[in-house]
Amino acid sequence: MFTFANPLVINLKNYTEISGDNSLKIAEEARNVLLSNHKDIIIAPPPSSIMALSKTKVPIISQHVDDAPLGATTGFTIPEIVKSHGAIGSIINHSEHKIEHSQISNLVKRLRELDMISIVCADDLEELKALSQFSPDYLAIEPPELIGKGIAVSKANPSIITNSVQMVKSISPTVKILCGAGIVDKIDVQKALELGAEGVLISSGVVKSASWHNKILELSSVLN
């Protein structure tokens, strides 16, 4: 099982900027940064590029997995197949791809059996509390109203991070807390870590930046 102290998880989503060969270019930039500073940088590309990007040797996770069986199933993204393509884990229940709690529970277990990491997302403290019972490797608090807005959760709503850490650690002490939404610079990452987050999820702040290399270098520089 891979472990990451303070991961910077870069979710490429389905932005035009990463279409075609560009997803490979961003992963190569991440690899160059990672080789220079040895920080915990993870990329979450669309399922179709997992195999190509995993060849860069940057840790790759899926943006989503379905709780569909291996075998005669069509159009689903399933843990066993993404693992075979080089993914080392998956985001589950992202705000832009919500699933049933019963499926989250199954997928956390299934990923663990495959030695893959699970990053389960929650929109608010109520959902976070409910999802703590599944003890994923990471729980990520991401207020949907701040996603893609460029105003960091660590600045706009610092108490949601401190409250998340306090609540999750009291229910399931081994689960690591990540946060995301609106993060754009290293001050935002630093603040998130000071508030108790153990890593961050970011998308538009990297994907839409002028220089992928410089932005990934900047953001990862403040990770432990």
Residues in contact with ligand G3P by CB under 6 A are 11, 94, 142, 147-148, 180-183, 201-205
List phi, psi (to 5°) of 121. Answer: -95, 150
Residue whose C-beta lies closest to ligand G3P: 204
Whether 145 is a known active-site residue: answer no
CA–CA separation, 142 vs 182, rounded Å? Answer: 9
**CB closer to ligand G3P out of 10 and 116:** 10
Cβ 72 to ligand G3P shortest distance, Å: 31
**Cβ contact 86:60 at 8 Å:** yes
**Catalytic residue at 101?**
no
Catalytic residue selected from 64, 94, 127, 218: 94
- How far, CA to CA in Å, does 12 sit from each of 115, 135, 193? 23, 25, 22
- The least CB distance from residue 2 to ligand G3P, in Å, is 19
The Cα 1–Cα 155 span in angstroms is: 33
Nearest distance from C-beta of residue 166 to ligand G3P, angstroms? 22
C-beta of 64 vs 110, nearer to ligand G3P: 64
d(Cα 106, Cα 79) in Å, to the nearest integer? 11
Q: Which is nearer to ligand G3P, 12 or 175 (CB)?
A: 12
The residue annotated as part of the active site, out of 29, 64, 127, 142, is: 142
Q: What's the CA gap between 79 and 197, in Å, rounded?
A: 26
Looking at the Cβ atoms of 80 and 190, the one nearer to ligand G3P is 190
Retrieve residue 185's tokens: 């610079």
Alpha-carbon distance 161 to 140, whole Å? 10
Q: Min. distance of Cβ 68 from ligand G3P in angstroms?
A: 22
Q: Which residues are catalytic?
A: 94, 142
